[in-house]
Amino acid sequence: MAPPLNSKILVAMSGGVDSAVTAALLVDAGYDCVGVTMRLVPEHPGKSVFEPCCGLEAVADAKRICDKVGMEHQVMHAVERFDRDIISHFVAEYEAGRTPNPCARCNRMIKFGALYQWADKIGADYIAMGHYARLEPRGDRLSLRRAVHREKDQSYVLSPLTQPQLRRAFFPLGGLTKDEVRQRAWKLDFGMATKKDSQEICFVPDRNYGGFLEGRIGAGRPGPIKTESGQVLGEHRGLMHYTIGQRRGLGIAHEQPLYVLRLEVATNTLIVGVEEETFNTAFTTLAASWGGLGLQTEPFDCLVQLRSRHDAAPCTVHPEGQKLRVVLHDPQKSVTPGQWAVFYDHDGYVLAAAIVKDFEVAAARV
């Protein structure tokens, strides 16, 4: 669903391939565009950027593309806000024994929060992003829908967006494949076309999550690794180094592969078990963000995606006020508090999304 041609569009320029092609497509279509690059993290000693999306190199690459397509380029500094709303929250969630998804939170609070305020400042009607997702009307509401290129689909991390945010959003790449985007990038800029995609959390250097957390809150406090029956198998390095479903890096030998089942923050205990103990039958959520479906009060069936790389599974959603209780038709592995549960219909429309609060196991543990 494209904006009217007389619209002024703020194009979020990350310095990567996708935002570059987005800018070129919109300028070629005749829109009045302004490119804006967000500076979100300070420079890391000895490195120019964390990930190629928000550092000095990204700014330079974004400006080069804006110059090529004949579009004004601006830089928005939001380091303090990003630290307060995204990084500090990320750290606090790990301290509480949960595993957050900072990208989904960033989309709602920074890219479609702080950036929307910038759009108002410059008189832009819409914000265009190089995300792979579609946005389509669904009755009197707007709904995100999975991208045509399923492997690149980013509707999961966009799912918390509100209706007012969606009404000013535009995702030109939702109907394209990554190969098609790179072909367009080759014609635009050779150096840009060969850039790798950013895959990890932008503010964590070298993908070292434990090291990053220790740098913010100090060394982890060791504690026992136990089975559900209370058998002590070893000692963990600090709960921040673990997440539910984790198999590698436990540092203990056992006759069967062991997985993290639960983090008990109150007792500083890591609970582990065999694969059969990782399956969950139901879970509860925090307050839901309603998408194309709108607020519901009666149970409904749909598909739920539990992680960014999880295949959506059939479920029944039971609304309980603002929160949800979700019954899985087939047990799923390692439902993780802190992660987003995103609910889709069979045509790929986002119906709702909510953060997982707690889970129920598939069978009584012994």
So which residues are the catalytic ones? 106, 202
State the DSSP H helix or E strand holding residue 166, giving kind and residue range, or none if neither: helix 163-166
> Residue 8: which residues within 8 A CB-CB, separation 6 or more?
31, 32, 33, 34, 122, 123, 124, 125, 126
Distance CA 82, CA 117 (A): 14
Axis-axis angle for helices 178-188, 17-29 (nearest 10): 70
Closest CA to 309 of 97, 103, 130: 103
| Residues 171, 155 contacting (CB under 8 angstroms) | no
Distance CA 10, CA 143 (A): 21
Phi, psi (rounded to 5 degrees) for 2: -90, 145
End-to-end CA distance of the chain: 53
| Residues 10, 119 contacting (CB under 8 angstroms) | yes
| Residues 331, 362 contacting (CB under 8 angstroms) | yes
Tokens of 295: 């607020």
Q: What is the DSSP letter of 185?
A: H
Residue 199 CA from chain centroid, whole number: 11
Distance CA 210, CA 223 (A): 16
Tokens of 182: 């790179």
Please report how many Cα atoms fall inside a 13 Å half-sphere around the Cα of residue 224, on the Cβ side.
Answer: 9
Q: Going by DSSP bridges, is the β-strand pair 32-39/133-138 parallel, antiparallel, or unpaired?
A: unpaired
Closest CA to 305 of 204, 155, 197: 155
